[in-house]
Amino acid sequence: MKRHTISILVNNQPGVLQRVAGLFGRRGFNIESITVGESEEPGLSRMVIVTTGDDKTIEQVGKQLYKLIDVIKVVDLSVSPMVARELALIKVHAEPSARPEILGVVETFRASVVDIGASTMIVQAVGDTDKIDAIIELLKPYGIRELSRTGVTAMIRGNR
Amino acid sequence: MSAQPAALRSKSELIEKWSKPEVITGSEMLLRSLVLEGVECVFGYPGGAVLYIYDAMYGFSDFHHVLTRHEQGAIHAADGYARATGKVGVCIATSGPGATNLVTGIATAYMDSVPLVVITGNVVQSAIGTDAFQEADIIGITMPITKHSYLVRKAEDIPRIIREAFHIASTGRRGPVLIDIPKDVSAAKGLFKPVTEVNLRGYNPTVTPNKLQVDKLLKAISEAKRPVVLAGGGVVYSGAHEELLKFIETTQIPITTTLLGLGGFPSGHELWMGMPGMHGTYTANKAIQGADLLINIGARFDDRVTMKVQGFAPNAKIAHIDIDPAEIGKNVPTDIPIVGDVKAVLEILNREAKRTDLADEWRAQIAKWKREVPLRYEDSDTELKPQWVIEMIYETTKGDAIVTTDVGQHQMWAAQFYKFSKPRSWITSGGLGTMGFGFPSAIGAQMAFPDRTVVSINGDGGMQMCAQELAVCAINNIPVKVAIINNQVLGMVRQWQEIIYDNRYSHIDLAGSPDFVKLAEAYGVRGFRATNKQEAREAWEKALAHDGPAVVEFVVRKHENVYPMVTQGNTIDEMILGDA
């Protein structure tokens, strides 16, 4: 069971997310994360889905996706060197006395503080999944009030 | 619109007439677009959300509309029409319950790759999502069982959507396409312009195969000592029966045809081994298990064919020809994948394929199996045997009828004992196994071919799932000949309960079924009953001779099983052969 990051170019039609997500659901494919947004071409959106499965399953994922009329292109990014990033907003308990320490963590991860409340801070972190997992681990001792992650978006490096 | 009959109005005339931009309603656009697709017959049932569409159909005569008595009857009839002709079947239903009553029929068509365009009404757009009266999210409900679907948002989109829907339904791997039209869209006026071009960037089915893979298959054929062809519905759907016959005659490879492949190859042929799988022939199943090369042509390795997948064709190199790339490698690991239209692939193969000279011993072995263990049953002079009834129907129709079946024992006996020789003469629900399909699908087939004999073989269970459509046959004089193989029980379930559940017959007794003769006559359809061979032949011949629909109830032995049988968890050569 390997993790695969799959990029899907789709027609930006109502219901297209339901078609793709529904396909994964009914065929028993796993979705670890899913992101959707506009692509470089008007009228088309790009979805990035992180999934796990053996080779046979991943082959089926691609083939079944292509059967959807609104799917234009499917690329398994993980077979090439890729940039994969997600963004996390972490609301952490931060009494004034704890803030310098927290800022130390934030700086190390090249994250940033985007909001400060009376006893909280919102930390914004961008990076691959491992990096986000790591900063969350380090912030846990201070008390995480709320966590929101976007899921991974990705593309292949270089000219391709 | 003109009341001129459809036959007198050619498509080019209509395009000419309708090519001037004209402001008409969405409903009128729908009807015009259907006519431009060559639609001759639609099956439907009106209701609130499609009232504008039905209003536009008032006095409209460019295609027939058959009013069924249940939406399920309409969609199965459209399905039968499509399977008999190869054209797109069309049905119309209203929103909510009308639409949800289509669901089983849509799934039936999806599983068996049948081209349908299914039109549903919906509530007005401003009411969508408010749980309005007769509102159902039919697009959402049918997403897993349609090839594609459309929610129409403005009337001007109708011509394009209809063109796309017919294109999608009838190309590549065929399938049902649903078009949901809110009531305000069918009422709205807009500028009508016929659409002939299709521009679907995400839809380009591969027709022509990869030459490298074809060469690999040709090499494998030349080296094969024990080759077998497994041919399926793809042969029928791509119209490749002649190419297949040529391929088999050239290569002399023994062939088995799946349930949906029946008729794709002449069953009297000496290289034909019958059907494989759960109720397949001894020869077909032994041959698959013994093969060193298995060439799947347009079948999908369904679990009723493979049974236990580990251990299926254990010694064979597997080649798989399919229009749908996703079928290749889905169930059975494949050595030679060939994506393409079956007909196109066979045409290319036929240019270079040669006789399998190394397989003479294999052919002799297969001939021996066929001789020694044919399909058989123990006949009786005191009781009517269902297999005998099928053989009698075969004889009296000279093997020339379009036969539809329901699902269960009678379906398997029909598949085994009616020897099909032509494609599109055998209409049955294979993948979904839909009871209630047999009779209404015959209505569709008969609408397509008014002059052919259409026989619908049903059990006493399935017949009661769509019996109301007898009214449609009666009122329109649609001369379907309905055979009811009545064993007073849910036969296939009984068989499983006998063999697998230790004779614990749970809820299978159909006592309380109507008198089918009286039922037929209540609808104004001729009814006959037969309890022995002589009565059976007489009644059936009367029914065939009758100029109109007829029902013949054959009262047969209750405790009769379909053999051979492979039970679940076993490989296909582990057959129960029965006691005959």
Mutation site, B330, B332, B334, B339, interface A, largest A CB count within 10 A: B330
In a domain, B570, yes or no: no
In a domain, B573, yes or no: no
In a domain, B333, yes or no: yes
Asked whether B87 and B65 are in contact (CB, 8 A), the reply is: no
E-strand ranges in B138-237 read 148-151, 176-182, 189-192, 227-231
Same domain, B351 and B418: no
Cβ separation A67–B201 shorter than 8 A: no
Same domain, B183 and B329: no
Work out the average pLDDT over A141-156. 97
Identity of the residue in B140, B202, B325 whose CB atom sits nearest the CB atom of A72 = B202
- What span, in angstroms and rounded, lies between the C-alpha atoms of B550 and B572? 39
Distance from CA of B159 to the nearest CA of A (A): 18
Mutation site, B113, B157, B164, B203, interface A, largest A CB count within 10 A: B203
What stretch of H or E contains B446? helix B438-448
Our count of domains for chain B comes to 3
Q: Summarize pLDDT for B280-333 with one digit per residue, the tens.
A: 999 999 999 999 999 999 999 999 999 999 999 999 999 999 999 999 999 999
Asked whether A47 and A10 are in contact (CB, 8 A), the reply is: yes
The per-residue pLDDT string of chain B (580 residues; one tens digit each, 9 = 90 and over) reads 333 334 546 777 887 888 788 999 999 999 999 999 999 999 999 999 999 999 999 999 899 999 999 999 999 999 999 999 999 999 999 999 999 999 999 999 999 999 999 999 999 999 999 999 999 999 999 999 999 999 999 999 999 999 999 999 999 999 999 999 999 999 999 999 999 899 999 999 999 999 999 999 999 999 999 999 999 999 999 999 999 999 999 999 999 999 999 999 999 999 999 999 999 999 999 999 999 999 999 999 999 999 999 999 999 999 999 999 999 999 999 999 999 999 999 999 999 999 999 999 999 999 999 999 999 999 999 999 999 999 999 999 999 999 999 999 999 999 999 999 999 999 999 999 999 999 999 999 999 999 999 999 999 999 999 999 999 999 999 999 999 999 999 999 999 999 999 999 999 999 999 999 999 999 999 999 999 999 999 999 999 999 999 999 999 999 999 999 999 999 999 999 987 6
Same domain, B160 and B309: no
Same domain, B291 and B434: no
In a domain, B398, yes or no: yes
Type of residue found at B191: L
**Residue of chain A whose Cα is closest to the Cα of B331:** A56
Same domain, B406 and B536: yes
Cβ separation A66–B326 shorter than 8 A: yes
What stretch of H or E contains B440? helix B438-448
Taking the Cβ of residue B329 and every Cβ of chain A, the question of whether any pair is shorter than 8 Å is answered with yes
- What span, in angstroms and rounded, lies between the C-alpha atoms of B404 and B82? 13
Q: Summarize pLDDT for A48-98 with one digit per residue, the tens.
A: 999 999 999 999 999 999 999 999 999 999 999 999 999 999 999 999 999
Residue B12's pLDDT is: 78
Indicate the length of chain B as a whole number: 580
Q: How far is CA B302 from CA B273, B299, B432, in A?
A: 18, 8, 11
Closest CA to B271 of B252, B284, B288, B257: B252
How many CA atoms lie less than 13 Å away from A90 in the CB half-sphere?
30
Same domain, B366 and B451: no
Please give the structure tokens belonging to residue B482.
């309905």
In a domain, B217, yes or no: yes
Ramachandran assignment for B329, one of left (phi > 0), alpha (psi -120 to 50 degrees), beta (any other): left
Residue B77's pLDDT is: 98
Q: B89: domain CATH number?
A: 3.40.50.970
Per-residue b/e over B531-549, b at no fewer than 16 CB within 10 Å?
Answer: eebebbeebbeebbeeebb
Same domain, B267 and B398: no
Please give the structure tokens belonging to residue B281.
């022939």
In a domain, B402, yes or no: yes
Q: Summarize pLDDT for B437-477 with one digit per residue, the tens.
A: 999 999 999 999 999 999 999 999 999 999 999 999 999 99
- Cβ-Cβ contacts under 8 Å for A44 (sequence gap 6 or more): A9, A10, A11, A12, A38, A72
Identity of the residue in B140, B144, B168 whose CB atom sits nearest the CB atom of A26 = B144
Taking the Cβ of residue A42 and every Cβ of chain B, the question of whether any pair is shorter than 8 Å is answered with no
Residue B580's pLDDT is: 60
ipTM of the complex model: 0.93
Cβ separation A22–B144 shorter than 8 A: yes
Residue B260's pLDDT is: 98
Asked whether B385 and B560 are in contact (CB, 8 A), the reply is: yes
Query: What's the pTM?
Result: 0.96
Catalytic residues of B: 71, 133-134, 183, 492
Indicate the length of chain A as a whole number: 160
Q: B250: domain CATH number?
A: 3.40.50.1220
Same domain, B481 and B543: yes
Asked whether B371 and B518 are in contact (CB, 8 A), the reply is: no
Cβ separation B143–A22 shorter than 8 A: yes
Residues of B in contact with A72 (CB under 8 A): 201-202
Helix then strand then coil, % of chain A, to nearest 5: 35, 40, 25
Same domain, B333 and B466: no
Residue-number span of the structural domain to which B407 is assigned:
386-555
Residue B9's pLDDT is: 67
Same domain, B349 and B220: yes
In a domain, B360, yes or no: yes
Same domain, B171 and B53: yes
In a domain, B297, yes or no: yes
Mutation site, A24, A44, A67, interface B, largest B CB count within 10 A: A67
Taking the Cβ of residue B203 and every Cβ of chain A, the question of whether any pair is shorter than 8 Å is answered with yes
C-alpha B513, offset from chain centre? 27
Same domain, B172 and B225: no
Residue that finishes a domain, picked among B372, B402, B427: B372
DSSP state of B489: B
- What span, in angstroms and rounded, lies between the C-alpha atoms of A8 and A74? 5
Taking the Cβ of residue A68 and every Cβ of chain B, the question of whether any pair is shorter than 8 Å is answered with yes
Domains observed in chain A: 2-79 (3.30.70.260), 83-156 (3.30.70.1150)
Per-residue b/e over B259-291, b at no fewer than 16 CB within 10 Å?
Answer: bbbbbbbbbeeebbbbbbbbbbbbbbbbbbbbb
Taking the Cβ of residue A96 and every Cβ of chain B, the question of whether any pair is shorter than 8 Å is answered with no
Taking the Cβ of residue A22 and every Cβ of chain B, the question of whether any pair is shorter than 8 Å is answered with yes
Distance from CA of A148 to the nearest CA of B (A): 28
Taking the Cβ of residue A17 and every Cβ of chain B, the question of whether any pair is shorter than 8 Å is answered with no
Residues of A in contact with B146 (CB under 8 A): none
Residue that finishes a domain, picked among B192, B225, B255: B192
